[in-house]
Amino acid sequence: MILIKNIKAYTPQFIERCDILIGGEKVLSISQEINIDPNLLEKIIDGNDLVATPGLIDGHVHISGAGGEGGPSSRTAELPVERLIEAGVTSVVGCLGTDGFSRSPKEVLMKVKAIREKGLSAWMYTGAYQVPTPTITGEVGTDLALIDEIIGTGEIAISDHRSSVPTTQELIRLAEHTRVGAMLGGKGGMINFHMGDAKDPFKPIHEIVRNSELSYKQFLPTHCNRNDYIFKDSLQYGREGYIDLTASSYPYFPDIEVKPSKAIKQLIDSGVPIEHISMTSDANGSLPLFDEKGDLVRIEIGLPKSLLNETIEAITEEGLPPDLAFMPVTANPSRILGLKNKGELKQGYDADIVLFDANWKINSVIARGKFVR
């Protein structure tokens, strides 16, 4: 067992001082004071100058590689696990992306298994931009019902010139099969939508809800800060459904994108419930810039650490209290995606913990009860 003594914690709710006892992969207890025989402990950590938070959950990462919009040489390679750990990410959800033709969800699945072997927690979406979307078993519902690591479908492209332009009925059928397969497999069953640059970007989702028994809560539209007009629409959409912000692209397109840390503050100020907001890195995917004709101008590649950087800047630059700032990358994605025992420091939950110093620099990372950094 490991005992962390006298530490300030954001669970994400604030605790002024507490002790945290870890045993196996779980948090055994969080209390004001824990007294236990030192002979039973592997390690005792003095937390007096440290801050504990849940490990970050990055719910949208191209772990097995992505890209290709600029030709074969623009394809990205697999993401090293070390890039996740240095960002304080202890749980990750992989996805395919643009290339559902030459890449396969099987590649993502094997990378998920590799990440799990390295001590982190990992899951994936089945599918890619296209509808019909590539799967492992031949159908999204079967993938969800039978394959443990698959928790949803995505990222499906809508409102984008790279989308296959699925009809409302095609999207409804995809969502219904995802929902039923997830029910059978005990999964969250979220549809992750890649949101493009088309005007009125949320229209396809509104059409799904109007023409079916599905609700806004089955969809997670991402890249909602990619330009000013989709973000403006997000201020209204986010009151009904979930909003996912992309962290890694902002440094490359500052004149186009809304800075994620600022976006979180603006969403909250506009009346969007904090529980509806998540933030992901979109790391290791290509970050293409297209001109008005749809021609590729340049491609960048994002990093998982952008997720941590934007979270800290929401605190230091935007003035958000840490308990709110960490929710979009801890408790919220856990609940939205249906990741059991994740996203909170709580008795019985997985021991995924990041220890920071007073300046929000990472001191240590614990994943499933073991130090990985």
- Is 282 designated active site? yes
Residues 6+ apart with CB under 8 A from 230: 195, 197, 201, 223, 224
DSSP β-ladder status, 89-94 and 56-61: parallel
Instruction: Tell me which amino acid residue 114 is.
Output: A
Nearest to 195 by CA among 169, 233, 168: 233
Residue 178 has phi, psi (to 5 degrees) of: -65, -45
Residue 207 CB-density burial (10 A; 0-12 exposed, 13-18 middle, 19+ buried): middle
One-letter amino acid identity for 344?
E
* CB contact at 8 A, 296 and 70: yes
Q: Choose, from 143, 233, 282, 350, the residue flagged as catalytic.
A: 282
How many CA atoms within 13 Å lie on the side-chain side of 45?
A: 25
Helices marked H in 166-239: 168-185, 203-210, 228-237
C-alpha to C-alpha distance for 46 and 51, rounded to whole angstroms: 11
Burial 40-71 (b: 16+ CB within 10 A, else e): eeeeebebeebbbbbbbbbbbbbbbbbbbbee
- Strand partners of residue 56: 89
> Catalytic residue positions?
282
